[in-house]
Chain A
Amino acid sequence: MSDAAAMSDYVIDVRDLRKSFGARKVVEGLTLQVAKGEICGFLGANGSGKTTTIRMLCGLLIPDGGAGECIGLDIIRQAPLIRQHVGYMTQKFSFYEDLTVFENLDFVASVYEMKDRAKAVQDIMVRMGLADRRDQLAGQLSGGWKQRLALAACVLHQPKLLLLDEPTAGVDALARRQFWDLIHDMAGEGLTVLVSTHYMDEAERCKRIVYLANGRIVVQGSADEVSSQSGLITFEASGEGIDDAARALRHLQGVEAAAVFGRSLHVAGTDRAALQTAIHSIDGDLKWEEVPPRLEDVFIHMLSAKGGEP
């Protein structure tokens, strides 16, 4: 993100968005700018307002307050125009289960009044590996294939902005890899992507991460920036008895998280002195080493900190 970029260079440029459902304030003063070609990861706890924000961006919900533009169009007054150029992938699969893969895609292509419909549909099916399942009813696809269909459908009309709401939930590792390669390819072609996710490896593939808590952005930047901003200190140990050590450490002061990853134990906290005291109190011949915090540690730290302040 370049600060020198003029306002009009932002594909998403919204200020102070607010939304409440009844008395519940779901989004409170969200300001977000995403530059053209950027892949922006949208993270936050369940119920933090990610879906609500995305819906406001594509005009599906009218904000109670605030203003802004998406692809240069006013999100409140020009919502129908925005829809023409935005691909929105809903969190819950929402294509027609009683239509086949091909029929769903063909429907989308014709609703967007695409010129060479047959070719566009054929191309996207090949690109997403859906060609073999062309005549299968969408309702009979497995969860991961449904997600692929949904992604295919929302990039089909070559939108300028992609809003993806947890696009890879339930998708296998290979498909996720392909999926992200595709997103990077399209970003390279100038497509802007805002993608919400709960997966750390996906967050790491985003140029920028925006972390939401209680409807506000609490931290944003690249993965490294977010890690260093967190002020988190992490130690790693390996050797015999790491499971017992993890159990013991979890209750000690200064330890926010103690988790075993494969053959190593990961301990994180914000108070260096307390953390060191804690790990030295553990018997056994564990070798401790300070490591840079993983993004996962950072997010767990933020998720568990009440109010989500880093």
Chain B
Amino acid sequence: MKGYSWRRFFALLRKEWIQVRRDAMTLRIIIAIPIMQLFLFGYAINSDPKNLPTGLLSSDHSKYERTIVAALKNSGYYNIVPLASEAEAEEGLAAGDLLFVIAIPPGFDRAVDRGESPSILVDADATDPSAIGNATAALASLGADLQRDLPAIRQSEPQTPAFQFVVHARYNPEQLTVLNIVPGLICIVLTFSTLFVTTLSITKERERGTMENLLAMPVRPLEVMVAKISPYIVIGYVQVALILIASALFFHLPIRGSIPLLLFALGLFIGANLALGVLFSTISANQMQATQLAQFTLMPSFLLSGFMFPFRGMPLWAQWAGEVFPTTHAMRIVRGMLLKGNGWHEIAPELWPIALFALIVVTIAVRFYRETLD
């Protein structure tokens, strides 16, 4: 008997495919849930928060200052409260009571009039970058709008701005933007939706009693596993397509890199997750255990992947742990490919850890797969 037979593999594959197709409810769930999650989290994280608490530090209450404060208020992003001291400002930022502190330097009016283009320092709490992203972005256009309200002499020389905002992102210097979040979200959503589908695959055979029959037939462990994974790779691609289209349409996500390369990388990523699911299914006695194992790995791959916290901001041990998970590497690949237009050369260092992970997981699963009922 051959160690691996393609005919047996295709027999198993056909059977799995029919079973997947026939389980309409599960199929609907695994297609719909990721899209729902994308919108839910995408908009939740993307939401455009207004009226952010903002402290104003100013020594002399000048007339330009009043114009600027009025413009900030009108933008809708800033809810401005005057502050007495810098100490109060620090305290407010640290406690999270203030998201911004705007400091207008002494002698601001005079500096503007002299054409010195003075700076207004904006301290921003960037722990939640999406919370301040739009507000910060609004500052740039405010500067241009204010130009018109300035004295006639200043308008004659528009090449030098009357003043400028200098934004200082605090606590989170990496300052992820909305565009950084959606690619990350794609990976998280795919991790969720792929890990669980195969987690139940082998325990299901065991609990339905069909395992005894399958074991009595001349099928080999690797054939069974690859056949269990394959249909979900196809479904995974459907998910990827839907997610990418939705992201492009609703979140205006650019796709700058090569799409075939992106699909290849995501296929590998999905395969790695599915393989992990099969491993859990193999070593568990029942569906409950398998599900718990999957949940146990979801949390760290969610938290340590660089999605929740900037990867380089994490302690070294956490970075090492994070490197193990395919989600971490997939996130870098997807971000790099979508936003920076990265190609093969840039993503290769992130691809092989995913491939290695999948290989190791499948090897362990094959080793633990029992060909007897003992």
Contact = CB atoms under 8 A, between A and B. Distances in A.
Interface of A: 55, 58-62, 79-81, 83-84, 86, 88, 90, 92-99, 103, 106-108, 110-113
Contacts of B372: 59-62, 79
Contacts of B374: 61-62
6 contacts: A61-B372, A62-B372, A88-B213, A94-B213, A96-B15, A107-B11
B168 interface: no
A83 B216 contact: yes
Q: Is the interface of B mostly helix, strand, loop or mixed?
A: helix
Contact of B14 (A58, A83, A110): A110
A148 to B, nearest CB: 16
A110 B11 contact: yes
Given A55-B373, A92-B209, A94-B210, A110 B10 contact: yes
B212 A99 contact: no
Contact of B210 (A61, A88, A96): A96
A79 B8 contact: no
Nearest to A52: B373
A103 B8 CA distance: 15
B15 A80 contact: no
B218 A80 contact: yes
Interface string B1-21: 100010110111011001100
Contact of A96 (B7, B10, B19): B19
A58 B8 contact: no
B18 A80 contact: no
Contacts of A96: 15, 19, 210
Given A110-B8, A110-B10, A112-B218, 15 more contacts: A60-B212, A60-B216, A61-B373, A79-B371, A80-B218, A80-B220, A83-B217, A94-B208, A94-B211, A96-B210, A98-B18, A98-B22, A110-B14, A111-B217, A111-B218
Contacts of A58: 216
A107 B210 CA distance: 13
Nearest to A93: B209
Contacts of B218: 80, 83-84, 111-112
B189 interface: no
Contacts of A107: 11-12, 14-15
A60 B5 contact: no
B23 interface: yes
B217 A113 contact: no
Looking at A61, A79, A84, A96, which has the most chain B CB atoms within 10 Å of its CB?
A96
Given A81-B1, A83-B218, A94-B212, A60 B373 contact: yes
Looking at A55, A61, A84, A111, which has the most chain B CB atoms within 10 Å of its CB?
A111
Contacts of B215: 60
A111 B209 contact: no
Given A60-B215, A96-B19, A111-B219, A80 B371 contact: yes
Contacts of B219: 111
Which range contains the number of B residues in contact with the other chain?
20 to 34
A213 to B, nearest CB: 23
B18 A99 contact: yes
A237 B369 CA distance: 60
B11 to A, nearest CB: 3
Nearest to A100: B18
Looking at A61, A110, A112, which has the most chain B CB atoms within 10 Å of its CB?
A110
A198 B8 CA distance: 36
Interface of B: 1, 5, 7-8, 10-12, 14-15, 18-19, 22-23, 208-213, 215-220, 371-374
B213 A113 contact: no
Contact of B8 (A86, A94, A111): A111
Contact of A90 (B7, B22, B212, B371): B212
Nearest to B210: A94
B162 to A, nearest CB: 72
Contacts of B11: 107, 110-111
Contacts of B211: 94
Contacts of A110: 7-8, 10-11, 14
A70 to B, nearest CB: 12
Nearest to B21: A98
Contacts of A113: 5, 7-8
Contacts of A90: 209, 212-213, 216
A260 to B, nearest CB: 38
Contacts of B212: 60, 90, 92, 94
A81 B15 CA distance: 23
Closest 6 pairs (CB-CB, A-B) = A110-B11, A94-B213, A88-B216, A111-B11, A83-B218, A94-B209
Contacts of A99: 15, 18-19, 22
Looking at B15, B23, B211, which has the most chain A CB atoms within 10 Å of its CB?
B15
Contacts of B220: 80
A84 B211 CA distance: 17
A103 B213 CA distance: 15
Nearest to B11: A110
B222 to A, nearest CB: 13
Given A59-B372, A84-B1, A103 B216 contact: no
A97 B208 contact: yes
Contacts of A60: 212, 215-216, 372-373
A261 to B, nearest CB: 36
Contacts of B12: 107, 111
Nearest to B8: A111
A62 B374 CA distance: 7
A71 to B, nearest CB: 13
A48 to B, nearest CB: 18
A81 B218 CA distance: 8
Contacts of B371: 59, 79-80
Nearest to B2: A113
Given A61-B373, A110-B7, A95 B14 contact: no
Contacts of B210: 94-96
A60 B215 CA distance: 7
